[in-house]
Structure 1
Amino acid sequence: MNVRDVIVVGAGFGGLSAGALLAKRGLDVLLLESSNELGGCAGKFDRGGYRFAVGATLGMGFEAGGTLAELYQELGLPLPQMKLLPIIMDVHLPDLDIRYYQAKVRWYEELERQFPQEHQQMILFYEELIAVAEQFQKIIARKPMFPPVDWRGYKQVLGMANLENAKLMPYMLQTVQDRLKKYGLAEHRQFVAFLNGQLIDAVQTTVAGCPAFLGYIALNVFHRGAFYIYGGLATVAEDLAGSIRTHGGTVQLRSRVQQIAKRGDGWEVTTAKGQRYHAKQVVLNNSIHNLHGLFDADLGRKLRVREDEERSRPAWGAYALYLGCRDVFASEALFHQFIEQYEAPLTEGNQFLVSLSATDDRLRAAEGKRALTISTHTALDRWWERSRYDELKASYTERIMTSLERKFPQVRAAVDMSLPATPVTFQRYVLRERGKVGGYIPSGKFSWMSSYSPLSGLEGMWLCGDTVFPGAGTLGTALSGWIVADRISR
């Protein structure tokens, strides 16, 4: 039997971060990934001369002191080829185009230009947002194990109790919408739509359902530094996998884990091919949606995550459209967000995010070509009705293409490759149960209290990824892996 110190299941950013850190610290690490690609929902695939990013995701956390910058430093890795984005994205509302700038002074100038009557209140809101987020960032940088479920976790949380942090409590007891009311902005249709567009992509919800501190952290991340990573975020995944190998670990693709069982003082992990591996510590980065199917009933009852409770928690799916086309995009911005109707929910193609490959990124497309990833949130159930599946794909594609043509009139004729992806696709290729992606949907000011801890309830069994604290996004998942690595290392 193949015996290792640690087995990591899943090569998403959480598993890669945990595996790379543990290997660097001298543990014998085996990472098992079911697909033939790294990065999970932040990975890539290659088709017809294009490299498509699985998700329409910006590069975050590479600024000085940022999570991924510090992770690279900890691992002794050179930073990937990238460039800072002065323009985070262009946001196309039904009656207004907003240029979202990374630099605070330029963003405030844009607010004044677009909203001459209300910009001062908007700037005050952003000043509060940035100040509060930076204070919370100091707490998160200490990598707390949240929610605390053992004495180490409670000791760590209690160690953070001081007068300065106590001032943050109101933001943990209110939504972003509550804070907007203070500035008289809660009913401002265009500004709220802009914020909703950012939050639905970052934390899966809108101002009404988003705890204030989570929303503030997510919105401030853009202003700390937004980057274009050459080759996409898959480049980062490849760097982390390379670090595991450099430090003696193994990264094994096309190895789907089918069963995990208790054996003596450790764990036996069995793949679909019948391969068996043994380790005292197992790190699961395959999402809590897929958790219970790995264990027998007796072990399942010992997990802190109750199966019926987990299945009842709301989560989004994604409809993605991957386009390879001639370069007809006369725009400085590499990311675009479209919102078509104010009154409709920001799902099902009414809101979508577009990621364009850079004109000089030869890893993504040939000269004169661009690779696009387009993504919208979608409810899951409709995609599992086989009789409607093809019709739905066609209608979603058409809606998105029609919206794109509003800003890029030549795009339809320029397309030479169009590949749609639905929740069914995400279940097939990244093994997300029923195609659930992005973690759970916050549903109010206290929803953060229902976060799942990386401590599974089984000794030596750890959880990381977008379904545990600190949640969705590449930064959150990478940080969850780092938290787990620190506890195992101790």
Structure 2
Amino acid sequence: MEVKVMYDAAIVGAGFGGLAAAASLVKRGRKVAVFEASNELGGSAGKFDRQGYRFQSGATVGMGFEPGGVFDQLYDELGLEVPVMTTLDTIMDIHMPDRTIHYYRDRQAWYEEIELHFPEKSAAIQAFYDEIFYVGALVDRLIDKLPIFPPRTWKDVKNLLPMVDRSSLRLLPFLNQTVEDRLKKYGLERHQLFRTFLNGELMDSVQTSVEYCPAFLGCAALQTFHKGAYAVHGGLATIAEQLSEYIKSGGGEIYMRHPVHRVEKEAGMFLLHSKRNKVFQAKEIILNNSVHNLHDTLSEELLKQTYIKKTKEVQREAWGAFIIHAGIDTSVFRNTDVLYHQFIDPERPEELHDGGQFLLSLSDPSDESMAPEGKRSLTISTHTELEQWWQAEEYEEHKEAMKNRMLQTVEHYFPGFAEGLDIVLPGTPLTFHKWLRRKEGKVGGYAPDGRYSWLKSYSVRTGIDGVHQCGDTVFPGAGTLGVTLSGLMAAKEVSAD
């Protein structure tokens, strides 16, 4: 056994949460190491290169670079230059059989689009969105203080008390309701078209639909689109690469292709066992490899100390992703400058997964790093139920059918799409399990299942002294903003220890 150098903090996983935590700790003068099992940074917001194309592994839309946003503040704190990006005035086009809804970032432009597509209920829908922006701002104000939530210690409770003011108290009515409850207030709960639209946006951002989404969480997610959405040149992996360079320039280490097989504690120090019997020492640990992997990473002795019990964790609902990476001729989308397209089948509103609802992300034609000349890279992704992908005898047939269903849908709206395809690479939950080490292919955190589901969130505390966690399975949840915030919360706690 070869014992390596000792670190103040070791981060397991180089996703956005882990990289943000490491960069924040380096800024505070800590000696840090990040261990990544794959050969790419960014986790589910990373990239891979094939045949001259750069493909984004999962997440594609840039968020948080607006003034005061998560990445705006982080980049300012670290002194980093903001990457080249395209601001999306049209966040996405939402395609339905009888219409295309332009989802505008600007509030007034969006309200005019509401009047166009929902004329009989436009006043009520605009009032509903006024509430979304109001509640979303309250949530932002609270989260910006990086609270430990749900509180696990008396210290956490004590630190939360100063945050309880007139502003935060206004959130109380939204903590015990769902988005559907709020729709009822405005007489919108039976408006099938608007309900279908909202379900599509909530599935994309919160992994659930109006009847199961906590009201405050839905408001926070829906207003995020309108604060600022961006196509980062080079993909979101550009952000991961910048954070990695900052960590290394500050004396930190990034160990690629170094899976951490086991973490144990000996003589007051954490030992991280990696490949070829390499062992690294650290005073503290931040796990960015998801709660799904917790019980496969920690020693039996450490697991006795955590409040996260395996029997409860495996019962919680989570989605997988079916994804298609492809190259396309630039001529196919020549009649639109919109980069993100959502496809929803309102005839089957209950099928917001497995191709019933999916997102297509196009590379910016001006971003030459993403594709060969005359081509663009694209990513198509849909939520999928996990169990079906672990039936080996049906796997290939099912993968081909799912791929064809989504490609045919895009062809319907953009004739010539199929003919313009260059390279087509489908991926399933098994792909995420193998390459991104997502246990059983689970991605996107836990799916909310009711008004009080937020109370079941895991905080950055594991219950083990010196072991913290971050990522999409940790409060405040999925998406690049959520995982980055959890990373910053974990770093704040490590710095305070």
**Residue matched to 2:317:** 314
Of residues 24, 27, 30 in structure 2, which corresponds to 1:27? 30
CA contact (8 A) 2:60 2:231 kept: no
SS at match of 1:129: helix
1:120 aligns with 2:123: yes
CA contact (8 A) 1:210 1:442 kept: yes
Deviations 1:410-441 (A, max 9, x none): 11011110000000000000000000000000
Q: After the TM superposition, which parts of structure 1 deviate over 4 Å for at least 4 consecutive aligned residues?
A: none
Q: Trace 1:205-220 onto structure 2 (pairs within 5 A).
A: 205-220=208-223
TM-score (norm. length: structure 2): 0.97
Q: 1: distance between equivalents of 2:40 and 2:108? A: 40
Of residues 325, 329, 337 in structure 1, which corresponds to 2:342? 337
CA contact (8 A) 1:90 1:97 kept: yes
Deviations 1:102-149 (A, max 9, x none): 000100011111122111111000001101110111001001010111
Q: Which amino acid aligns with 1:243?
A: Y
Q: Trace 1:385-464 onto structure 2 (pairs within 5 A).
A: 385-464=391-470
**Residue matched to 2:265:** 262
SS at match of 2:449: coil
**Residue matched to 1:349:** 355
How far the C-alpha of 1:24 sits from its partner, in A, is 1.4
CA contact (8 A) 1:266 1:460 kept: no
SS at match of 2:324: strand
SS at match of 1:466: coil
CA contact (8 A) 1:261 1:268 kept: yes
Of residues 99, 104, 114 in structure 2, which corresponds to 1:101? 104
**Residue matched to 1:141:** 144
Q: Trace 1:234-253 onto structure 2 (pairs within 5 A).
A: 234-253=237-256
Deviations 1:213-262 (A, max 9, x none): 00000000011111110011000000111110011101110001001111
Change in CA separation of 1:440 and 1:240 when aligned onto 2, cut-off 3 Å: same
**Residue matched to 1:17:** 20
SS at match of 1:245: helix
1:90 aligns with 2:93: yes
Deviations 1:320-366 (A, max 9, x none): 00111211112121000001243332001111001000111111012
Point out the more displaced range, 431-440 or 128-137.
128-137
Q: 1: distance between equivalents of 2:50 and 2:492? A: 38
**Residue matched to 1:359:** 365
SS at match of 1:178: helix
SS at match of 1:312: coil
SS at match of 2:444: coil
**Residue matched to 1:195:** 198
**Residue matched to 1:60:** 63
CA contact (8 A) 2:44 2:59 kept: no
**Residue matched to 1:465:** 471
1:181 aligns with 2:184: yes
Q: 2: distance between equivalents of 1:61 and 1:357? A: 19
How far the C-alpha of 1:407 sits from its partner, in A, is 1.4
1:170 aligns with 2:173: yes
Q: 2: distance between equivalents of 1:167 and 1:299? A: 40
Deviations 1:290-330 (A, max 9, x none): 11111232321211100110011010000000111211112
Q: Which amino acid aligns with 1:97?
A: T
**Residue matched to 2:488:** 482
How far the C-alpha of 1:165 sits from its partner, in A, is 1.7
Q: Matched residue pairs, number?
A: 490
Q: 1: distance between equivalents of 2:140 and 2:347? A: 32
Q: 1: distance between equivalents of 2:78 and 2:311? A: 39
**Residue matched to 2:47:** 44
TM-score (norm. length: structure 1): 0.99
- Give aligned-pair identity as a percent: 47
How far the C-alpha of 1:56 sits from its partner, in A, is 4.5
Deviations 1:374-403 (A, max 9, x none): 000001111011100000110001100110
Q: Trace 1:295-314 onto structure 2 (pairs within 5 A).
A: 295-314=298-317
CA contact (8 A) 2:362 2:379 kept: yes
CA contact (8 A) 1:325 1:371 kept: yes
Q: 1: distance between equivalents of 2:202 and 2:102? A: 17
Q: Which amino acid aligns with 1:410?
A: G
Deviations 1:9-46 (A, max 9, x none): 00000000000110111111010000000000000000
How far the C-alpha of 1:57 sits from its partner, in A, is 2.5
SS at match of 1:100: strand
CA contact (8 A) 1:56 1:355 kept: no
Q: Which amino acid aligns with 1:464?
A: C
Q: Which amino acid aligns with 1:335?
A: Y
Q: 1: distance between equivalents of 2:75 and 2:432? A: 29
Q: 2: distance between equivalents of 1:430 and 1:55? A: 10
CA contact (8 A) 1:280 1:460 kept: yes
Point out the more displaced range, 57-66 or 264-273.
264-273
Q: 2: distance between equivalents of 1:163 and 1:484? A: 27
Structure 1 unpaired stretches of 5+:
none
1:223 aligns with 2:226: yes
CA contact (8 A) 2:147 2:159 kept: yes
How far the C-alpha of 1:161 sits from its partner, in A, is 1.4
Q: 2: distance between equivalents of 1:95 and 1:264? A: 67
SS at match of 2:443: coil
CA contact (8 A) 2:472 2:479 kept: yes
Q: 1: distance between equivalents of 2:106 and 2:65? A: 15
Q: 1: distance between equivalents of 2:302 and 2:169? A: 39
Of residues 278, 281, 286 in structure 2, which corresponds to 1:278? 281
CA contact (8 A) 2:214 2:454 kept: yes
Change in CA separation of 1:424 and 1:306 when aligned onto 2, cut-off 3 Å: same
Q: Trace 1:370-381 onto structure 2 (pairs within 5 A).
A: 370-381=376-387
Q: 2: distance between equivalents of 1:233 and 1:152? A: 36
CA contact (8 A) 1:340 1:403 kept: no
How far the C-alpha of 1:157 sits from its partner, in A, is 1.4
